[in-house]
Amino acid sequence: MPAIAEKDLKNEFVEAFDGDDSGDRTPRQTPGKLYSKAEPTPVANPKLLGWSTDLAETLEIESPTDKDVEILAGNSLTPSMFPYAACYAGHQFGNWAGQLGDGRAITLGDWSSKNGIFELQLKGAGPTAYSRHADGRAVLRSSVREYLMSEAMHHLGIPTTRGLALVSTGDRVLRDMFYNGNPQYEPGAIVTRVAPSFLRFGNFELLAAQRNFNQLEQLVNWTISRYYPHLTGDDRILKWFEEVVAKTAFLMSEWQRVGFVHGVMNTDNMSVLGLTIDYGPFSFLDNYDYNFTPNTTDLPGRRYAFGNQPSIGYWNLGKLANALSLLFEDTDGLENALNSYEKTFWDHYYSMMGRKLGLDQIKKEEKELISRFEKVLSEIQPDMCLFYRLLADVSIKATSEEILQHFKKAFYQPLKPEEQEQFISLITDYSKRRKNNSISAEASRQLMNKNNPRIILRNYLLHQAIEELEKGEKELFEKLQKAMKNPYASEGFEELVEKRPVWAETKAGCSMLSCSS
């Protein structure tokens, strides 16, 4: 297997489209250009902190040498690399934001292997033409979170971009973590992100807003040929949009399955490959709260709260449909494809919930039971992850007291008498339904444990790992990196299978974060 410094990378996006090749990184508008050349800015003292051996095997990349680390830090390039920042637009928090682009991400090129072609991208490697007033850098805090979380989501079985490497830079970066006028210097870092493509809804929105019909059609056709080659014929653009709708609906149901809250579901953060992309102020749910948003910028409206994610997925698809409508004389097909989202999502959702509950079929009775679970759990708010793992082992003959005792570990506070009554009734009725399964109790239990993770990367654990790394310690970071590879395991890493501690409920970085996180 070749090392990064030894491999010739391709640059098919650059070769296919017009871009600004000047290398000028002055913040500016670049109409008609889909990218701008942006060489990484060197850093003082790069050190490799994290390396995904799993991803490296998929990519067929040799373990990094010192020369490779220099590349991963943006300190050097190989002759075949053409570093660039992509230009795109988007709707942010429901409002049109105009041109955006990769403000702190620089793509090096395409890495080919027997498992496919993947873009290698450095996040935090310095300013680009789209950095606006920012420095193009990333802090250790946000870089650790993205590196670990993108790999954790992969091992949870959720479509995602991935993290190949984490490098500390030796430089200090000034950040106002909560945009409250209290900036502080933090250690800098760079993540090497990997995906078949980082194309997002906003790439197409930009060209539509510029009324650039030719480039819009060119980008759509290039995307289909490269990533959806099975689609042919005169209706391939419509068929492509239908698949993007289906992939997005599936992704939203998967986020709901594990309690993942993205936090910044702007259209420029939505992948046309149906991947989880751009990890910022994300969080897993601790207590089962549909109104929870981890993003301080999302307050007080909570547009991107956990329970709103499926509807926001639909809203964002609507904006993509608007962009694509410029290529259609009759938009009825686009509207029908967009309207298919609701049924597709709910089909995925009920099927997913059936697996979480270990049920053999989902009909009207089961859908009503699922609705009861949603209602009761959102009211009493047990720890989502712990609750579902405990549910797999609850006895179908358990008494009321045994039910309360069995789930005690998942409660953040004692249940009130009326809450106890609601909860016991729910679990009792559920146990009766599960008893009537056509599959065995053990098969039901195994089904549940394959769909309900036991280990998730909770924000407080990430926060502790970041604090240790800032002190030069790696024990928890390495433990999390190992534990996340088998999140459904029935044993091991017991110290990570705990609900959020009281001290973390209001601590910065554990409960709420900002878009700079």
Active-site residues: which are they?
268
What gap in Å lies between CA 121 and CA 163, rounded to an integer? Answer: 10
Q: How many CA atoms lie within 13 A of 204 on its CB side?
A: 32
> What are the φ and ψ backbone dihedral angles of 164, each rounded to 5 degrees?
-85, -45
Amino acid at 172: R
Q: Give the chain's length.
A: 517
Q: Where are the beta strands (DSSP E) in 182-334?
A: 184-195, 260-261, 283-284
SS in 3 state form for 279-345?
CCCCEECCECCCCCCCEHHHCCCCCCCHHHHHHHHHHHHHHHHHHHHHHCCCCHHHHHHHHHHHHHH
- Name the residue type at position 265: M
**What is the distance between the alpha carbons of residues 43 and 33, in angstroms, rounded to a whole number?**
28
Find the radius of gyration of the CA atoms of the chain.
23
For 160, other C-beta atoms within 10 Å of its C-beta total 24
Burial of 68 from C-beta contacts in 10 A (0-12 / 13-18 / 19+):
buried
Q: Is the CB of residue 207 less than 8 Å from the CB of residue 18?
A: no
Looking only at Cα atoms, what is the longest distance across the chain? 73
Helix axes 332-357, 309-324, angle to 10 degrees: 160
User: Looking at the DSSP assignment, which residues form a beta bridge with residue 137?
Assistant: 125
- Rounded CA-CA distance 476/141 in Å is 14
Tokens of 286: 């601790």
Half-sphere exposure in the Cβ direction for 379 (13 Å, CA): 15
